[in-house]
Amino acid sequence: MKKLYRKLVSIRDPFARVKRHVSSHSGFRALRDRKWMFPFLASLIMLITLLILSIYGKFDAKEDPLPLDVVVESNDYFVESDFRTYLKSKVDVSPELPRLAYLISGTKGDSHRMMRTLQAVYHPRNQYVLHLDLEAPPRERMEIAMSVKSDPTFRRMENVRVMAQSNLVTYKGPTMIASTLQAVAILLRESLHWDWFLNLSASDYPLVTQDDLLYVFSNLSRNVNFIEHMQLTGWKLNQRAKSIIVDPGLYLSKKSDIAWTTQRRSLPTSFKLFTGSAWIMLTRSFLEYCIWGWDNFPRTILMYYTNFVSSPEGYFHTVICNSKEFLNTGISHDLHYIAWDNPPKQHPISLSLKDFDNMVNSKAPFARKFHKNDPVLDKIDKELLGRTHRFSSGGWCVGSSDDPCSVQGNDSVLKPGPGSVRLQELVQTLTSEEFRRKQCP
Confidence of residue 84 (pLDDT cuts 50, 70, 90): low
Q: Is 366 exposed, middle or buried (0-12, 13-18, 19+ CB in 10 A)?
A: buried
Strand pairing partners for 406? none
232 vs 273: CA distance, rounded Å: 6
**Average pLDDT in the 21-27 region?**
47
CA nearest to 128, candidates 151, 107, 109: 151
Q: ω before 369 within 30° of 0 (cis)?
A: yes
**Average pLDDT in the 171-183 region?**
93
pLDDT value for 15: 46
Query: What are the CA-CA distances from residue 55 to residues 42, 43, 45, 309 (Å)?
Result: 20, 18, 16, 65
CB 245 within 8 A of CB 307: yes
pLDDT of 83 > 60? The answer is no
CB 380 within 8 A of CB 391: no
**Average pLDDT in the 112-123 region?**
98
Confidence of residue 78 (pLDDT cuts 50, 70, 90): low
pLDDT of 256 > 80? The answer is yes
pLDDT of 268 > 60? The answer is yes
CB 174 within 8 A of CB 247: yes
**Average pLDDT in the 140-163 region?**
95
pLDDT 10s digits, 232-249: 988 888 888 999 999 999
3-state secondary structure 291-354: HHCCCCHHHHHHHHHHHCCCHHHCHHHHHHHCCCCCCCCEECCCCEECCCCCCCCCCCCCECHH
pLDDT of 39 > 50? The answer is yes
Confidence of residue 31 (pLDDT cuts 50, 70, 90): very low
Confidence of residue 85 (pLDDT cuts 50, 70, 90): low
**Average pLDDT in the 366-383 region?**
97
284 vs 223: CA distance, rounded Å: 8
pLDDT of 75 > 60? The answer is no
Q: Whole-number mean pLDDT of the chain? A: 86
pLDDT of 29 > 60? The answer is no
pLDDT of 88 > 70? The answer is no
pLDDT value for 264: 93
Confidence of residue 172 (pLDDT cuts 50, 70, 90): confident
Confidence of residue 178 (pLDDT cuts 50, 70, 90): very high
pLDDT value for 61: 45
**Domains in the chain: boundaries:** 99-436
CB 159 within 8 A of CB 408: no
- For every residue of 46-99, DSSP letters joined together read HHHHHHHHHHHHHHH-SSPPPPHHHHHH-GGGSTHHHHHHHHHTS-SS-SSPP-
Strands (E), 166-325: 196-201, 205-206, 225-226, 229-231, 243-246, 259-264, 274-276, 281-283
pLDDT value for 202: 97
CA nearest to 309, candidates 136, 187, 172: 172
CB 349 within 8 A of CB 308: no
283 vs 178: CA distance, rounded Å: 18
Pairing of strands 281-283, 330-331: unpaired
Residue 131 one-letter amino acid: H
pLDDT value for 8: 45
187 vs 103: CA distance, rounded Å: 9
- For every residue of 406-425, DSSP letters joined together read GSB--TT-----HHHHHHHH
Domain 99-436 has CATH 3.90.550: yes
Strand pairing partners for 351? 370
pLDDT of 12 > 90? The answer is no
- Of 23-37, 119-133, 167-181, 424-438, least confident by mean pLDDT is 23-37
pLDDT 10s digits, 292-344: 988 899 999 999 999 999 999 999 999 999 999 999 999 999 999 999 988 88
Phi, psi of 232 (to 5 degrees): -75, 120
Strand pairing partners for 226? 281, 331
CA nearest to 366, candidates 170, 207, 210, 213: 207
